[in-house]
Amino acid sequence: MLVYEILRKKLDGELNTKEEIFRLVNGYVFGEVTPEQMAAWLAAVYIRGMSDEEVWWLTEAMAKSGRMVNLSEIEGIKVDKHSTGGVGDKVSIVVVPLVASSGVPVAKLTGRALGHTGGTADKLESIPNIRLDLSEKEFVSQVRRIGCAIAVATEDIAPADKKIYALRDKTATIASIPLIVSSILSKKLAGGADAFVFDVKFGDGAFIRKLEDAQKLAEGLVKTAKLAGKKAVAIISSMEQPLGHAIGNAIEVVEAIEVLKGKGPEDVRELCLEIAAQMLWLGGVVTNSKEGKSKAMELLNSGAALEKFRDLIIAQGGDAKIIDQPEKLPQPSCKVEVRSGQSGVISAIATRELGLIAGQMGAGRIVDEKVDPAAGIIVMKKIGDFVNYDETIAILQSNKPIVNDLVVKVRACFKFGEGVKKPPILAGFVG
């Protein structure tokens, strides 16, 4: 089949076959399909959409374009979770050891900070000496030994997605649900788990702004994962404000440890319990998610989840003393408090902007490639909180000088208004 004919079919609104989609994806990876041809096909998908089978074939082709992690030596149902990314999202640091402490194995490949969103790999790397560059052998053997591992996803995981994503970015075809579903799921399938919980975020700090679009993405992810023969559910959660108080790396690890100690901010705790409950249910240790939630609470309250996190840090070469002595984590040379400057109730927080500012201060890769583990923002007040004009609404920290311009920008991220309610963290479920 000519590539020309594959494109013509999609442009004319016809369906592509599995063979055609594999031909296109592999051809693009190996340079036989040109960027112009691929761009035309992506634009056609953007406008015409894809059938459920086409989305699955595209996902499969991209997953199989690189290394497929083999977890078959690990006994039990391997459950993974994926977040579509947000500001202050430290959920993986909590739920991986939490779920593993129940006996459900969790083998997690994770990413780095991107744009205004943080990355679990960067956050964990603030723990002195920890290694996230595990080989597949080390990764699998650690999960067999202690029940969990977190490693950074290498370049050979779904390389077709990287190449296609870069082209989508240049051709304004990112915002297509079938393309997003196959991009996310191809990387997850290559990670080798049997079951997935997706945390699809919406709101100002999320990649998807509108709740209805998050709902469509959640449905697409669950449907396609099921076509791939996997168990899957999705939770839709709000990113209208940062998750918890900490945005950064070391400070997010501290907050995650607080949650593992049975404390921590209510929104982080609630989201972690919900995701863990679904993972425990998919992993087969409870018969429904309500039981899963009680089990997850029990694992937090008994200290089992925290001990599993200690095991994980030690297994990956890190200094587990940070659990009891968080001051051993990297500390900033510079800290500045941001005062409100007005009295009233906070009605909105420019979350994406806060994520970008944290990134600029060194928490992400916006200015330098090298991340400053101590940099970040502690958000002291959230939506629905009353503040006096001289109260601290945020604390900025960095190893670079913090200029007044940043203080002004952070203050402007907090909006004030009347009749405001605290937004719920959980907004939907797709099962």
Q: Where in the sequence numbering do the catalytic residues fall? A: 82, 161, 168, 183, 187
Considering beta carbons, is residue 106 or 185 the nearer one to ligand URA?
185
User: CB 47 → ligand URA: shortest distance, Å?
Assistant: 17
User: CB 63 → ligand URA: shortest distance, Å?
Assistant: 13
User: CB 306 → ligand URA: shortest distance, Å?
Assistant: 30
Considering beta carbons, is residue 150 or 200 the nearer one to ligand URA?
200
Structure tokens belonging to residue 261: 């100690």
Considering beta carbons, is residue 230 or 269 the nearer one to ligand URA?
230
With CB atoms as reference, the residue minimizing the distance to ligand URA is 183
Name the site residues for ligand URA (rule: CB under 6 A). Answer: 165, 174, 179-180, 183-184, 207
| Angular region, 241: left φ>0, alpha ψ -120 to 50, beta rest | beta
Considering beta carbons, is residue 158 or 346 the nearer one to ligand URA?
158
User: CB 160 → ligand URA: shortest distance, Å?
Assistant: 12
Considering beta carbons, is residue 177 or 296 the nearer one to ligand URA?
177
Considering beta carbons, is residue 112 or 269 the nearer one to ligand URA?
112
User: CB 187 → ligand URA: shortest distance, Å?
Assistant: 6
Owner of token pair 């940043």: 406
The span from the CA of 16 to the CA of 195, in Å, is 28
Cβ 61 vs Cβ 31: under 8 Å: no
Give me Rg for the CA atoms of the chain: 22
Residue 393 phi, psi dihedral angles, 5° rounding: -100, -20
User: CB 168 → ligand URA: shortest distance, Å?
Assistant: 7
User: CB 82 → ligand URA: shortest distance, Å?
Assistant: 9
User: CB 61 → ligand URA: shortest distance, Å?
Assistant: 15
Considering beta carbons, is residue 179 or 286 the nearer one to ligand URA?
179
Considering beta carbons, is residue 199 or 372 the nearer one to ligand URA?
199
- Taking alpha carbons only, the member of 340, 412, 330 closest to residue 380 is 340
Each as own residue / partner, the long-range contacts of residues 409-413 (CB below 8 Å, 24 or more positions apart, any chain) are 409/353, 409/357, 410/338, 410/354, 410/357, 410/377, 411/338, 411/339, 411/340, 411/341, 412/350, 413/349, 413/350, 413/351, 413/353, 413/354, 413/357
Q: What does DSSP say about strands 426-430 and 148-152: parallel, antiparallel, or unpaired?
A: unpaired
* Helix pair 250-260, 304-315: axis angle to 10 deg: 140
